[in-house]
Amino acid sequence: MLSLLEHAIRRYPFGRLSFRIRNTRTNSTIISKMTESKAQWHDAFPTPSFDTPRMSPETLAEIIQQKTAGVDYVVVDARRNDFENVYIKGAINLPAQSFYPTLPTTIILLSKIPEVIFRCNSCTETGRGPRMAGWYAAQLKQAGITASRAWILDGGIKRFESLYRDNDKLVMKL
């Protein structure tokens, strides 16, 4: 008979799963239970600083209407799968899951753009957009680049879409 751990190893030989054994005492018998804790996509990368400034949706809307995407600003959409549903006009899709390993090349491409605005669904404190903005800002600082600045879209696409869903100059739906 296989132990729980042996069964788990045989069942998940290639996954990024980690297991903890929890001991519980019942009627003076110790029962070992294995609980599964899945690694998060960002666990393999350093934790960024989460102090990047936030930009309001209203400010971004003004920038989009008055400036040139790819020259004066760029909106980086951190979502891997949801980009197809709704996106900010002129945004580029750089999924958070592959952003950190490509950061050296990304810095070369984006550091010439003054305002780089990162966003995900709602841009919670430690969400994908804020995480990417933190990595980008740290890399800029390390390289001594001052011509580009990282921002986080406050409220993410959810807030932006709620304000501008009917404005096809700002929001695109596929």
Nearest to 100 by CA among 65, 48, 38, 50: 48
Comparing 17 with 143, the larger pLDDT belongs to: 143
Asked which of 29-33, 107-111, 132-136, 168-172 is least confident by mean pLDDT, the reply is 29-33
Query: What pLDDT is attached to residue 108?
Result: 96
Nearest to 114 by CA among 146, 152, 76: 146
Asked which of 6-15, 65-74, 83-92 is least confident by mean pLDDT, the reply is 6-15
Q: What is the mean pLDDT of the chain?
A: 83
Domain tally, the chain: 2
- Is 103:135 a contact under the CB 8 Å cutoff? yes
The number of residues making up the chain comes to 174
- On whether both 127 and 149 belong to a single domain, the answer is yes
Question: From CA 30, how far away is CA 32, in angstroms rounded?
Answer: 6
Share of the chain above pLDDT 90, in %: 60
Query: What pLDDT is attached to residue 121?
Result: 87
Tokens of 32: 């070992």
- On whether both 16 and 54 belong to a single domain, the answer is no
Please count the CA atoms within 13 angstroms of the CA of 63 that sit on its side-chain side. Answer: 23
- Is 135:104 a contact under the CB 8 Å cutoff? no
* Radius of gyration of the CA atoms of the chain, in A: 21
Q: Which amino acid is at 151?
A: W
**Which domain range does residue 75 map to?**
44-173
pLDDT band at 174 (very low <50, low <70, confident <90, very high): confident
- On whether both 53 and 135 belong to a single domain, the answer is yes
pLDDT digits (tens, 9 = 90+) for 101-147: 999 999 999 999 999 999 998 899 889 999 999 999 999 999 999 99
Query: What pLDDT is attached to residue 170?
Result: 96
Query: What pLDDT is attached to residue 25?
Result: 53
- On whether both 91 and 157 belong to a single domain, the answer is yes
pLDDT band at 83 (very low <50, low <70, confident <90, very high): low
What's the CATH code of the domain at 70? Answer: 3.40.250.10
- On whether both 34 and 50 belong to a single domain, the answer is no
Query: What pLDDT is attached to residue 30?
Result: 52
- On whether both 50 and 14 belong to a single domain, the answer is no
Break the chain down into helix, strand, coil percent, rounded to 5.
Answer: 35, 25, 35
